[in-house]
Homo-oligomer: A and B are copies of this chain.
Amino acid sequence: MKISPDTTLAEIGESGAWRVVRPYVARSGAGAISTGFGDDAAVEDIERPGRLVSTCDLFIEGVHFLAEWGDWRAIGRKAMAVNISDLAAMAARPARALVSVGLPPDFRARDLRALYWGLSAEARRWGAAIVGGDTTRADRATIHVAAWGWAPPGRKMPLRSRARPGMGLFVTGSLGDSAAGLALLADPRYAGLKEKGYARRLIRRHRLPEPRVEEALALAESLGEWAAMDLSDDLGRSVSLLARASGVCVEAESSALPVSRELIAFERDAAGMGERASAEGPAAPRRWAIGGGGEDYELLFAAAAELEELRAAFRRRGLRRAISRIGAISACPKGGARLDRRPWPCQGFEHFR
């Protein structure tokens, strides 16, 4: 049966869906990989000892994304990128992924192809490959990625529990762009701004996060004990998790939070529309960074290092990503996250609530 782009999964069935998906799944190459589509499991020879780092994320339409916001390529790329970002946060080099999708019967072959195109393109960008998965029926599009990668054995992992008093607190890149991009997509008050150049770049940062793989590997090479996480949650929640896991106080300064030119431009236009009062808290653009919803997928990390050393580590690898020192780790009996010497003002997003 020929599969045309408008064909639905109901017409082609599970085996037809596999035919659509198969080009995006790594083939048995030199006996190294056999795919999990077709066989019950994927197989790979691991030639030498190493440290296996594994993660997974469940991504559900209506909870994590809305089909109408982006094309399925972008949704596929994001579903893979957030897993790659988890591996980056552990300073592991991405290697393989298993992808499961649950889709409604009226889902189109065209969109399934786009979804897998996105998933596999993002994996390949980071040297990884999809090696298998599962395809099933669901009421709502459901995407699950399990991914693993490798870190050198013997090296200290940047666990969340390894922040120590005296360390500095750092982030890569800029913060709040993704939250602002989400607001531009979802909040009707900003509909008139969507076509601005800055808005498109902010929306892109929400839809296509960039995992900081090379940055994390550069840091892992130059640091001993450190603690890291990716900013999938917003900064307030992330900083709280780091503080609790390490039993320390994490103190940040709102004036030190790095914000992009695009976010500043957006905030200026939004304030001009009278939609946001800028007098009620920290400088306006930084509010997006402080508790805006997260999903910046920058690295947040604590290390006993000077900013200049860290920048040098990036330069040695040819990385031009910014690093900012946004605060410090201090001893405190109860642990906690503080911004500008006060308890962190935003709770962050929790599922189920």
Q: A: which residues have CB within 8 A of B?
A: 8-10, 12-15, 17, 34, 36, 38-58, 60, 62-64, 85-87, 89-90, 92, 96, 98, 100-103, 105, 131-140, 142, 144, 146, 151, 153, 157, 159-161, 229-230, 245, 350-353
Contacts and interface: CB of A to CB of B under 8 A. Distances in A.
A36 B245 CA distance: 13
A53 B38 contact: no
A121 B140 CA distance: 30
Stoichiometry, as copies per complex, reads: 2
Which of A57, A151, A230, A353 has the most B CB atoms < 10 Å from its CB?
Answer: A353
B98 A56 contact: yes
Contact of A36 (B55, B134, B142): B55
Contacts of A134: 56-58
A335 B101 CA distance: 29
Which of A9, A38, A50, A56 has the most B CB atoms < 10 Å from its CB?
Answer: A56
Contact of A51 (B44, B55, B151): B44
Contacts of A62: 139
B159 A34 contact: yes
A51 B45 contact: yes
B100 A15 contact: no
Nearest to A89: B40
B132 A63 contact: no
Contact of A49 (B49, B55, B87, B137): B49
Contact of A157 (B43, B51, B352): B43
7 contacts: A38-B160, A40-B89, A41-B90, A43-B90, A54-B132, A58-B136, A64-B136
A43 B52 contact: yes
Given A40-B230, A87-B41, A12 B56 contact: no
Contacts of A36: 54-56
A63 B96 CA distance: 28
Given A146-B56, A146-B146, A351 B135 contact: yes
B60 A138 contact: yes
